Structure formats: structure tokens, C-alpha cells
Amino acid sequence: MPWPARSPDVNPIENIWGVLKKRVMKRRPKDLENLEDNILDEVQDFPTRIVSNTFETIYERIHMLSDNRGEALPF
């Protein structure tokens, strides 16, 4: 399958990392130690519904990407 350079990454873990990063950065870590603590807190409290939804919708997103010829999805 050709993979155009501008296509979004539909790898589920990349989506989950993105959500985790946003949640950690909302806490505005002050230093490396605080960043580490925030990451650990967020990983422990990470909503399982986000993980489930990411994996449940992977086929839908792949089909949308295919229909869109590899171009960025509208979300």
C-alpha cells in the first residue's frame, strides 16, 4: 500500500501518546522531576475508554484514510 508523506499516522499507540502528552502538558510541569511525576500520575489515571475507543475505531479510520487517498483526515 503506498503511504503518502502527508498521511496521518493511524497507529493506535501514536494516538494514545498524543492524548497522554496533552494531559501531562496541561499540568504545566516545572522541571524534569515534576514532569516525570505528572507522567506517572496520568498513566495511572488514563481513561480506559480512550484506549478502547482508539482500538475500536482503527478500521474505520483506516477506511477513511483510504477513501481520502492518504490525505489528512478532517479531525
- From first to last of the 75 residues of the chain, give the pLDDT tens digit: 555 555 556 778 888 888 999 999 999 999 999 999 999 999 999 999 999 998 898 888 888 877 877 676 666
Decide if 6 contacts 70 (C-beta within 8 A): yes
Cβ atoms within 10 A of the Cβ of 41, count?
13
CA distance 58 to 51: 11
pLDDT of residue 52: 93
15: Cβ–Cβ under 8 A, 6 or more apart, which residues? Answer: 54
For residue 43, is it within any domain?
Answer: yes
As for how many domains the chain has, the answer is 1
For residue 33, is it within any domain?
Answer: yes
pLDDT of residue 75: 63
Domain range for 63: 12-67
Burial class (CB in 10 A: 0-12, 13-18, 19+), 15: buried
For residue 45, is it within any domain?
Answer: yes
Q: Is the pTM of this model over 0.85?
A: no
